[in-house]
Amino acid sequence: MRSRNPRQLSTKDFTYVLPDDRIARYPLEERSSSKLLFYDHSLISDHLFSDLPHLLNAGDQLIFNETKVIHARLLFRKATGSVIEVMCLEPADVNDPVIALGKRGHCEWNVLIGNLKRWKEPFQEAEVMTPHGNFTLRAIKNSELNGPLTIRFEWDERFTFAEVIDYAGKLPLPPYFNREAEPSDELRYQTVYANVQGSVAAPTAGLHFTDDVFSALSAKHIESSFVTLHVGAGTFRPIKSENIGEHTMHEERIFVRKTTIETLVDRIQKRDLKSEKNRIIAVGTTSMRTLESLYWIGVLILQGVKIPLHVEQWLPYESTSAPTCLAALQAVVDYLEQSESNILTATTGILIAPGYEFKVVDGLITNFHQPDSTLLLLVAAFVGEDWRTIYEHAMHTGYRFLSYGDSSLLFRS
């Protein structure tokens, strides 16, 4: 069945008042001491995040996003004292950020530029200090187009670009923090399982997990698998149009191992037997976006599309093809086997909004999101009108909001 198209939904129906003092600008001392709101079949209860293993069933499968935040903010200080900020978004000359970060001497990235009007020269330069000696980083602007620009970076080829931004760059904290990154953020604005460099924002639902929580999950036979979606700056962009249909969804790259998709196929086969075990639970909206995109990538493959594999934002609402979840994910596995590839690489612009019919995910672990955001739309799509009840409860019982805030475990009916 085709999902109901949300284009005509009014943005004002998916907002709420978020007082400034409810935004958590710093993390708690202990990751798992955050509060955890549990929602299931319209019932709400309050817990600590360390209680998570007790709220799940043996046999459940958690899916984490193992992306790692890079030092994406580069500051170029002019002789006049003014600063031009370059925010690296994604590589422009290769598809994989890991490859881009390993380049030596030069590379090209799509960027956002602050104080662009002050950039009059053909290039900017910054002195980069390292334990192994200093060098000059040069940024050459390729165009004057609106939106993201492409910058060619040049530097001493003794260093990889990962080392360049590690030495010269700053951690890109969310704009609503209204503060600069501090040394403690280097640790706390990364998940403990962050592994693949490439994001400009953390998958914040995972910030609550600790080694002790993972041990408790394993002891209860709750399994963990990992995907990679490199979070872009678009995740913070509010919906400014009156109707959702006028909003252009940002696109992000996803990487999923074939073994992970095979695990999902096995879980879905068991889930189809109506087992209350073997639920698939996305840790964060980025994991949710990846998992649901996998289904639509399978649809595209079954329709004969091979390259590029891209999920357009309205595909779920316009497609007339409706294979089972099992058939779609098996098609992805078969495609990888035929391609002799162990990792699926694709892009997704999927917009999950009320009217979307979920294919893969049964549960969601997520923080409390900004008003007028696509992340809030996703939550509303998952739990229906109860999203208001959930957010009102969180507001009235002292939950902390946004990236460093508290968490929730949500199940759909």
Least confident of 102-111, 141-150, 295-304: 141-150
| Contact indicator for 224, 217 with CB cutoff of 8 Å | yes
- Three-state DSSP at 168 gives helix
Which band of pLDDT confidence, cut at 50, 70 and 90, is reported for residue 250?
confident
Q: Is the pLDDT of residue 96 over 80?
A: yes
- Say what the pLDDT of residue 125 is: 83
Buried b (16+ CB within 10 A) or exposed e, 266-286: ebbeebeeeeebbbbbbbbbb
- DSSP letters, 178-199, are -S---TTHHHHTS-TT--EEEE
Name the class of domain 11-68+193-411.
alpha beta
The H or E element spanning position 85 is: strand 83-91
C-alpha to C-alpha distance for 37 and 367, rounded to whole angstroms: 10
315-374 pLDDT per residue, tens: 999 999 899 999 999 999 999 999 999 999 999 999 999 999 999 999 999 999 999 999
Mean pLDDT, the chain, whole residue set: 92
- What is the rounded CA–CA span in Å between residue 299 and residue 173? 36
CA distance 219 to 54: 11
As a whole number of angstroms, the distance between CA 222 and CA 262 comes to: 17
Angle, in degrees to the nearest 10, between helices 374-383 and 285-302: 80
Query: For residue 146, what pLDDT band results from cuts at 50, 70 and 90?
Result: low
What 8-state DSSP symbol labels residue 394? H
CA gap 226, 16 in Å, rounded? 33
21-60 confidence digits (pLDDT tens):
999 999 999 999 999 999 999 999 999 999 999 999 999 9
Distances in whole angstroms, Cα of residue 142 to Cα of each of 95, 168, 292: 19, 21, 36
Count the residues in the chain.
Answer: 413
User: Token pair of 390, please?
Assistant: 């959930």
Q: Is the pLDDT of residue 1 over 60?
A: no
What does the alpha-carbon distance between residue 208 and residue 211 come to, in Å, rounded to a whole number?
Answer: 10
Q: Is the pLDDT of residue 379 over 90?
A: yes
Task: Please identify which residue in the block is written with the tokens 């098996």.
Answer: 330
List pLDDT tens digits, range 181-237. 999 999 999 999 999 999 999 999 999 999 999 999 999 999 999 999 999 877 777
Do residues 106 and 153 make contact, with C-beta atoms less than 8 angstroms apart? yes
Task: Annotate 185-224 with b (16+ C-beta within 10 A) or e (fewer).
Answer: beebbbbebbebbbbbbbbbbbbbbbeebbebbeeeebee
